[in-house]
Amino acid sequence: MATLLHRLGKTAYRRWPLFLAAWILAMVSVGAFAATMSKPMSDSFSIPGIPSEKAADLQAELFPETVGAFDQATVKVVVAAPEGTTLAEPTYAAQVDDLIAALAALPQMPTEPPLVNPVQAADTQREQIVQGATESGGSVTEARANADAISPLSEDGRVGTISWAFDVDTVADVEPTTIEQLKEVMADASTDGLTVEANGSGTTGMAEIGGTSELIGIGVALIVLILTFGSLIAAGLPIITAMVGVGLGITGITAMTAFTDIGSTTPMLATMIGLAVGIDYALFILARYRSELQHTDDREEAVGIAVGTAGSAVVFAGLTVIIALTALLLVGIPFLASMGVAAAATVLVAVLVALTLLPAILGMTKSKAFGGRVRHYRPARESSGLILNNGVRWARFIARAPVAFVIVSVLGLGALALPLQSLHLAFPSDSTAATDTTQRQASDLVADAFGPGRDAPMLLVVDARDVAEADRGTAFGDVAAWASGQEGVANAQVAGTNEDGTGAQILVTPATGPENTATEDLLTDLRDGQPDIEDRTGTTIGVTGLTAITTDVSERLSSALPLYLAVVVGLAFILLMIVFRSILVPLTATLGFLLSVLATLGATVAVFQEGLFGIVEGQPIVSFMPIFLIGLVFGLAMDYQVFLVTRMREAHVHGMSTHDAVVDGFRNSARVVAAAAVIMISVFAAFVLIDEPIIKSMGFALAVAVFFDAFIVRMTLIPALMFLMGEKAWWLPAWLDKILPNVDVEGEKLPRPHLTGRSLEDELEDLDEDSSVKV
């Protein structure tokens, strides 16, 4: 590996015009394809095979005209008169009529049914329901209660709703211009005390996700790089190469929409990961290049050594991240798989950029790569001539009492993990959006006026094809009555039947909101009672609707977690054994990861679910947070493990004891690893400023995870364990040593005259003549 990358680095340095042209051609080609062939991104969270999806299939069979819950671009405009007034008063009635006329003129609006003033709609709906009950001999009192349960007007007449679904095939088909005009209409109507807000899947584009977070992260990264290299040009190189990688990765994701559905949050997550690893990978190679320049004036050879050694670490670090992300395919959840593959592709691009584009730029800049000096690098040295820095001091400090550092690290991370016991997973909804968004304000108005369950409806699909025609109406009524009797149900009523009367849809309105655990318990109770009511009525029943689907997705994610964790940890463990040729080093690396990820999840629960420090309003954790976080944190954790411990192993391979090798590894890598960690933390933490709950929580969790893993696990716990294990750290059974391939990550076969005392020419001659070098 090291030999191959050594040659690649030298070739890229020497033939830099060819490599630069190749990258430019790649960006232009992918960009042109994305601009001409890409399609809108979607927000589908459905999973084939879950109970709610099966019920939705039954619904589509009985009611062919039905649109899927995630495909329907629904909008609910909520209007509210000032306190003490009603929407029926002439002033507000006229304003609402004008609003409805403006809404009807929006693009992509349905032609049927027409929009109606909620005051008039409530009266008409009530009359129709009561009349139907009277004609069928039903209870008028029950009919009135059912009318009130679905009324578009609140009991006090102050709040009303105007609902429709845009005339589109999927939510992604709603045009940005439509959303902009909707916002303008709402703003124009919000006068003279009338409040106008909106929520629903069709309003997704109204939430603005700012683009300044990336700039904040990049700004902090630039400062850290300037402090690290003391050079403006060198500091800018990792930023430039990372942005090229992210730009190409995001453009590629956009281009892939021509072939498959990709979620709207996928580019943001890919950007988050791509920026962090892109900067870090370039940083490690560039830092190694600067280090090699202290031993040779041959810049081409220095680049070759840097790419051969640090580049090998980059390859394996990137592989661990890619394994962790692509393993999401095994979970069987389409939207999560697309997010993982997209982020993995961006990481792959970041690795290729670091291995080829960075050396090419160094070939173009030559001696000016470290120009623009703001600080000269003059490290203190020991009597032996070796560099004495804070990394050396910290490693020696840990060596004095390694047991104490192990105990403190484990207990500290364990304490941080305690809040994980109260973890509550759910999908983000309008009711958990940021308080300053129109979606959240509309949901709050609805919850106060109609009850929180109005935004968490469930739908019972009743198949009565095996029931005698004369008994079907009674069967539908019995199912509705059974649903009404469940604890936590505010109302249940037959919402409609199909043309031949063989199927019915029963609308169930919970007493609690979509984010409440009581709503999840209600779904469980309904399904637990299904067999009994099916036997009594002869029907087949399924529970679907947005609330049911998102709850099922959350449960599937939780159940898939053990398999995912086993695959990721297992594959990465094998990869690390190949890199370090050891069993104990990968084992301690994996155990350290478990500690850091548990502590991260605990801290995330404390801040985002329990509302610690008041940073955010307490709400459930996004359902796919744990599984996605585990994949990312494992990959990033192994980055630092590879970068730090490969330098230790390199020193050990060249004759140092394990104790001295640990110190030497910190001498050469601690400063760069710390800088890389600070950069990653900055990039991730900047995303906390975004109001999108998924991105905000992921940014926080990743920033905290990098801090825990880099500074507590990799730079404290791992060296302490290495000191305790001593030479046993590198133990590997002889039979396993024969099986594992020798990839030479440490660059043992590369010319290192400053380590051997021989000339560079002799080393290069031996390298060319050695045909047994393993790649």
Q: Would the pLDDT of 198 be above 90? A: yes
Phi, psi at 523, each rounded to 5°: -60, -40
Please give the pLDDT value at position 766.
46
Residue type at 463?
Answer: D
What mean pLDDT do residues 342-368 have? Answer: 91
Same domain, residue pair 731 and 591? yes
Please give the pLDDT value at position 753.
54
Burial class (CB in 10 A: 0-12, 13-18, 19+), 399: middle
Is residue 541 within 8 Å of 460, Cβ to Cβ? yes
pLDDT digits (tens, 9 = 90+) for 605-652: 998 888 887 777 777 888 878 887 887 777 777 778 877 888 888 788
Same domain, residue pair 198 and 248? no
Same domain, residue pair 21 and 91? no
Burial class (CB in 10 A: 0-12, 13-18, 19+), 444: middle
pLDDT digits (tens, 9 = 90+) for 409-431: 999 999 999 998 888 887 777 77
Same domain, residue pair 295 and 328? yes
Please give the pLDDT value at position 715.
92
Same domain, residue pair 592 and 732? yes
- pTM equals 0.77
Secondary structure, 3-state, 342-377: HHHHHHHHHHHHHHHHHHHHHHHHHHHHHCCECCCC
Q: Would the pLDDT of 759 be above 50? A: no
d(CA 643, CA 171): 44
What token pair was written down for 507? 């609308």
Same domain, residue pair 718 and 626? yes
Same domain, residue pair 32 and 96? no
Burial class (CB in 10 A: 0-12, 13-18, 19+), 620: buried
> To the nearest whole number, what is the mean pLDDT of the chain?
84
What mean pLDDT do residues 501-522 have? Answer: 91
Domain region containing 316: 2-37+209-367+402-427+551-769
Is residue 356 within 8 Å of 12, Cβ to Cβ? yes
Residue 543 in domain:
no
The neighbour count for residue 32, using CB atoms within 10 Å, is 12
pLDDT digits (tens, 9 = 90+) for 173-185: 788 899 999 999 9
Residue 468 in domain:
no
Number of folded domains that form the chain: 2
Q: Would the pLDDT of 464 be above 90? A: yes
Dihedral sign of CA atoms 25, 30, 33, 34 in order = negative
CA-closest candidate to residue 632, choices 325, 423, 370, 348: 325
Same domain, residue pair 190 and 261? no
d(CA 38, CA 247): 16
Same domain, residue pair 651 and 585? yes
**β-pair type (503-510, 195-199):** unpaired
Please give the pLDDT value at position 95.
94
Residue 715 in domain:
yes
Question: b/e string for 478-507 if b means 16 or more Cβ within 10 A?
Answer: bbbebbbebebbbbbbbbebbeeebbbbbb
d(CA 261, CA 258): 8
51's CB contacts (< 8 A; 6+ apart) are: 527, 542, 543, 548, 552
In angstroms, the Cα distances linking 111 to 107, 164, 167 are: 11, 10, 8
Same domain, residue pair 163 and 249? no
Residue 743 in domain:
yes
Is residue 551 within 8 Å of 527, Cβ to Cβ? no
What token pair was written down for 749? 């076969």
Same domain, residue pair 224 and 243? yes
The neighbour count for residue 285, using CB atoms within 10 Å, is 28
Same domain, residue pair 202 and 245? no
Hunting for tokens 């800088």 — which residue is that?
Answer: 675
Residue 522 in domain:
no
- Give the ranges where 508-623 is alpha helix by DSSP (H): 517-537, 546-580, 584-604
What token pair was written down for 264? 């709207």
CA-closest candidate to residue 106, choices 59, 160, 162: 162
Rg (CA), the chain: 31
d(CA 707, CA 598): 13
What token pair was written down for 88? 């029926």
Phi, psi at 487, each rounded to 5°: -65, 130
> Is the peptide bond prior to 113 cis by the omega test (within 30 degrees of 0)?
yes
